[in-house]
Amino acid sequence: MPAYVASKHGVVGLTRSFGLPFHYNKDEIIFAALCPFFVETDILKSANQTLDPTLDFSKRTDLMSPGFVAKGVLKILEDKINGSTLLVISNEYRYEELEEKFKILIP
């Protein structure tokens, strides 16, 4: 799953880059990324056959409903934190903090 993981990191990096004040001041668009954990969907069921037939993700006890993830989308829209990444984990919404050493790049 290296390409899948790399694409997720790319989305977070792109969100943080477009979340810098320069872009907001220019376009007044807020960028935020939503990163859900395992969600109970048909894609998850089909991933078992694609990745490894011996794995059965659908039997995980920490699967989230699509409705719980949708509430995460509403949270992002209400909070309006530019450049933010919201992790949606079983029973929890948590913003992933940018490391302190990188915050100096953001005025």
pLDDT at 100: 65
Q: Could you say which DSSP state residue 40 is in?
A: -
pLDDT at 90: 85
Ranges of the chain whose pLDDT falls below 70: 1, 45, 47-58, 98-107
CA gap 18, 29 in Å, rounded: 9
- Please give the model's pTM, rounded to 2 decimal places: 0.77
pLDDT at 38: 82
Reported as type and span, the H/E element at residue 20 is none
pLDDT at 54: 67
Give the chain's length: 107
Tokens at residue 30, please? Answer: 């807020």
Quote helix, strand, coil % in the chain, to nearest 5: 50, 15, 35
pLDDT at 60: 74
pLDDT at 97: 78
Class in CATH terms, 1-98: alpha beta
Per-residue model confidence as pLDDT tens digits over 37-66: 888 887 776 766 666 666 666 677 788 899
Backbone angles phi, psi at 23, to 5 degrees: -70, -40
